[in-house]
Amino acid sequence: MIDKNSVIYIAGHKGMVGSAIWRTLTKEGYVNLNGISSRKLDLRNQKAVRNYLQKIQPDVIIDAAAKVGGILANNNFPYEFLMENMQIQNNLISEAHYLGVKKFIFLGSSCIYPKLASQPLKEEYLLTAPLEATNEWYALAKITGVKLCEAIRKQYEKDFVSLMPTNLYGTHDNFDFTSSHVLPAMIRKFHEAKENNNAVVVLWGTGKPMREFLFVDDMAAAVVFALENQLPDYLYNVGTGEDLTINELAATIQKIVGHTGDIIWDTTKPDGTPRKLMDVSKMHSIGWKHQVDLETGIQKTYNWFLENIEDFKVKEF
């Protein structure tokens, strides 16, 4: 059904994940990729989405578009994180169904799973207990997307599949302190501290929570795998199956950046979920596995940060 000439629309093609998918598909020989900036197409507008998709007539839609951010952003803008993400995904899913798109790949997040679920997180744990309060708004939106894809798959036997990545990082990441995730925020903090005579770096929480990180090019490879294969189930975790403490992450980034100053942990700030390790056995069982180890991925990300540092406003300490 899908070949190198298939019309593929990547929603969010300029973001970290979307751009990695675009690069990977191009490298693999796909020649009919489509994307449009948010300035030209507001994915929250159903009519605009329908008009655009009717124009390009995609065979495949990859939904890598979302309003994203860390704990601070989720806490400050709960309505926007819930409403805007539902609008984006609902429009894409409903129009894909309306137009008879052959394959739909929905990208979510490991935050869809309960806060205190057993580790590692299995796909069947979805909706079995309360969510983590610091990102429940984003998580709720993504859960509705997963269930919509499951419903279409069940009722209409369409090839709609959801991939739930662990914490992603990599080139083209977001390094803005007010909206970035922990890994890119640490890279920028340690770099700026190094440039400021190895100043003290203050980090949120205790450093004890454990997190798993996947390099974005590995996520893109998982999407291509899902594109080229008809996956037998509706939901798959995508990760490394390995985690480390935030403290260990900080030490690793500090070493790669070359910062030699002190680290202070602000324990008045929240830690978030104690642990989020993905069970990736389902993806492994059908033939996909990550390739980039954490240190290599962080080094690649830091190199990209340095190459694009003029785009990031350096804040004074």
Residue ranges at the known binding site: 12-18, 107-110, 142, 165-168, 181, 189, 204, 211, 271
Residues comprising the binding site for substrate? Answer: 189, 204, 211, 271
The CB density around residue 56, as the number of other CB atoms within 10 Å, is 15
Assess contact for 228 and 2: CB atoms under 8 A.
Answer: yes
Which residues have C-beta within 8 Å of that of residue 285, sequence separation ≥ 6? Answer: none
Q: How far apart are CA 298 and CA 202, in angstroms?
A: 20
Q: Is the dihedral of CA 32, 40, 305, 213 positive or negative?
A: negative
Please give the annotated binding residues for NADP(+), written as ranges.
12-18, 107-110, 142, 165-168, 181
Query: Cα dist. 21→11, 78, 130 in Å?
Result: 10, 28, 32
Backbone angles phi, psi at 26, to 5 degrees: -60, -45
Distance of alpha carbon 33 from alpha carbon 16, whole angstroms: 17
Which among 52, 113, 138, 234 is annotated as catalytic?
138
Q: Which tokens in the block code for residue 10? A: 């990547």
* Catalytic (active site) residue 30: no
Residue written as token pair 């785009």: 311
Catalytic residues: 138
